[in-house]
Amino acid sequence: MWFSAALLGPFLLDPICHSQPYLGRRGAVFIAALFSLASAIGGSLATSWQGFLIARIFLGIGIGAKASIVPIWESEILPPYKR
């Protein structure tokens, strides 16, 4: 999970994050949350270790994407006196 978070998450959702007229950072966080939701559902329904591994890879993608997007987005929306 942590390898896919470091290697896949930021690189897969970075183009979505920079498509400002369409989704922007809010949409990228939503897509990352969908990856996390899909991995929770997929992990609970997995019947083999291969299915569980795929679910954990999806969870890593969601964690890595959120870890790279949320701090920047949070610094943009905070009031100036809290920055």
Predicted confidence (pLDDT) per residue in 19-49, tens digit: 666 777 788 888 888 988 999 999 999 999 9
Q: Is the pTM higher than 0.85?
A: no
**What local confidence, expressed as pLDDT, does residue 2 receive?**
67
Instruction: Give, as one character, the DSSP assignment of residue 82.
Output: G
Tell me the pLDDT band of 70, cut-offs 50, 70 and 90. confident
pLDDT of residue 28: 80
- Average pLDDT (66-72) is 80
Determine the pLDDT at residue 45.
93
Contacts 24+ apart (CB under 8 A), 9-18: 9/60, 9/61, 9/62, 9/63, 9/64, 9/65, 9/66, 9/67, 9/68, 10/64, 10/65, 10/67, 10/68, 12/61, 12/65, 13/61, 13/65, 13/68, 13/69, 14/68, 17/69
